[in-house]
Every structure is written in structure tokens, then in C-alpha cells.
Amino acid sequence: MGRTLGTIAILVGAVLLVLGIMSTQKTGEKIMGEMTGHFTSKTIWFIVGGVALIGGGFGLRRLK
């Protein structure tokens, strides 16, 4: 059961990470990044959530 949940978490995390990275390339994000030096909170949460899910997924897969 842990391996299945881990695999699902890794896949969902990868999707969130890709969406977050793609979001940084949008025109609005580039303008926001140039003006403030930061991305929007939505983009940051996609990236952080994706990394966290990937890490948690690998942790779940290690459980027996």
C-alpha cells in the first residue's frame, strides 16, 4: 500500500513541479519577477508542493 501511495505522490508532485516551472515562464510572472524579484505565491506553492510530494513519495516507497 505504501509503495502505491508513494508512486502516486511522486507522480502528482512531478506534475505540480512541472506546472510551477512552466508558470515561471509566463509573461505576467516575468513582469512580477522583474518588478519585485519574486514570483507570485501561487507559483511558489506549486514548486514547493511538488518538491514536498516527490520527497514524501520517495519516503513512502521506502516503507515496508
Grid coordinates representing 55 are 520527497
Give the mean pLDDT of the chain: 90
Spatial CA neighbour of 24 closest among 4, 6, 45: 45
Residue 17 is predicted with a pLDDT of 96
CA 21 – CA 39 distance, rounded (Å): 11
More confident residue, 34 or 3: 3
pLDDT value, residue 15: 97
**Is 53 in contact with 13 (CB distance < 8 Å)?**
yes
Please report which confidence band the pLDDT of residue 63 belongs to, taking 50, 70 and 90 as the band edges: confident
Contact 16, 35 (CB under 8 A): no
54 phi/psi in degrees, rounded to 5:
-65, -45
Q: Is a pLDDT exceeding 80 seen at residue 9?
A: yes
Q: Longest C-alpha distance within the chain, in Å?
A: 48
Tell me: pLDDT of 64 over 80: no
Give the global pTM. Answer: 0.83
